[in-house]
């Protein structure tokens, strides 16, 4: 995902930036900057197109900033969209393991563009028109991978090759199933058809998670993922993760 608000081209009234809180210390510093030095799993603020000027106060979520969401729309009156949405970069993760885990948590199909750096960069530029299209935007997770080996164990593959993998994450986001595979040079209509078909199949066969039940099942089965930063929140802002019962995290 994008960790720096300034890398996003503002092409609509609002751009949503999701920071993976446990991905790096740098990301946690961004969250803390919006919460007065505290660290919680999420933070929310409406920023100007420069990615720096704050147009609202910050809070853990939108409902902590305002109860009237029309207030947000009023903030856009002084800003006009610039550029073309389909020229915007496609979000990316820092690892396939994280992409798979978040896809499972959000219950979305994961599209992995895998191969040499130059090849996947070119493919990513081609795919922008598809990823930001009205039928597709917000429906999929994406990851660009040069480390093809990282796909093998979670996907039960003996060998991987460059291409576009459309993946169904498992319940806890530690493994996945390849629903479709296309070459990096696949035509956009063919890729769109494969993605929409996979998404429809995923929705039909995937039961909606109930958070409390899901967490209890994960703990009972010993499911967890190791991240760069320790799980937990620092709600008192002393710089240390608060220690309490039930530490650890399952998705």
The answer as to CATH 3.40.50.150 being correct for domain 87-205 is: no
Band (pLDDT 50/70/90 cuts) for residue 10 is very low
d(CA 10, CA 82): 6
Average pLDDT over residues 4-27: 62
Band (pLDDT 50/70/90 cuts) for residue 73 is confident
The structure tokens listed for 32 are: 């803390």
CB proximity list for 47: less than 8 A, separation 6 or greater: 5, 53, 54, 55
d(CA 234, CA 29): 12
Tell me which of 77-91, 136-150, 197-211 is least confident: 77-91
Band (pLDDT 50/70/90 cuts) for residue 65 is confident
Mean pLDDT, the chain, integer: 86
**Sign of the CA dihedral running 151, 129, 77, 50:** positive
Give pLDDT tens digits for 142-190: 999 999 999 999 999 998 999 999 999 999 999 999 999 999 999 999 9
Tell whether the model's pLDDT for residue 207 goes beyond 70: yes
pLDDT of residue 245: 46
Tell me which of 57-66, 82-91, 126-135, 136-145 is least confident: 82-91
Band (pLDDT 50/70/90 cuts) for residue 211 is confident
Domain ranges across the chain: 1-83, 87-205
Tell whether the model's pLDDT for residue 101 goes beyond 50: yes
Task: Please tell me the pTM assigned to this model.
Answer: 0.81
Tell whether the model's pLDDT for residue 6 goes beyond 50: no
Q: What is the DSSP string of 56-125?
A: S--BSSGGGT-S-THHHHHGGGG----S-GGGSPPP--S-HHHHHHHHHHHT-EEEEEES-HHHHHHHHH
Band (pLDDT 50/70/90 cuts) for residue 3 is very low
**Sign of the CA dihedral running 102, 108, 113, 114:** positive
């Amino acid at each position: 995902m994008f960790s720096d608000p300034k890398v996003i081209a503002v092409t609509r009234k609002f751009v949503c930036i999701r920071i993976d809180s446990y991905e790096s210390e740098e990301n946690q510093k961004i969250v803390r900057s919006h919460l007065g030095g505290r660290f919680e799993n999420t933070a929310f603020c409406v920023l100007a197109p420069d990615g720096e000027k704050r147009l609202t106060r910050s809070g853990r979520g939108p409902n902590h900033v305002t109860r009237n969401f029309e207030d947000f729309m009023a903030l856009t009156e002084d800003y006009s969209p610039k550029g073309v949405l389909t020229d915007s970069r496609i979000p990316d993760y820092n690892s396939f393991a994280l992409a798979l885990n978040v896809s499972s948590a959000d219950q979305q199909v994961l599209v992995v563009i895998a191969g040499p750096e130059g090849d996947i960069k070119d493919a990513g530029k081609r795919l922008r028109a598809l990823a930001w299209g009205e039928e597709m935007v917000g429906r999929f997770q994406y990851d660009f991978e040069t480390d093809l080996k990282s796909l093998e164990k979670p996907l039960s593959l003996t060998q991987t090759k460059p291409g576009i993998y459309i993946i169904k994450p498992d319940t806890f986001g530690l493994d996945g199933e390849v629903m479709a595979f296309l070459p990096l040079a696949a035509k956009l209509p063919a890729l769109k058809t494969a993605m929409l078909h996979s998404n429809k199949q995923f929705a039909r066969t995937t039961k909606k998670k109930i958070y409390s039940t899901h967490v209890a099942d994960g703990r009972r089965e010993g499911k967890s993922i190791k991240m760069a930063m320790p799980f937990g929140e620092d709600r008192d802002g002393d710089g240390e993760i608060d220690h309490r019962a039930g530490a650890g995290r399952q998705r």
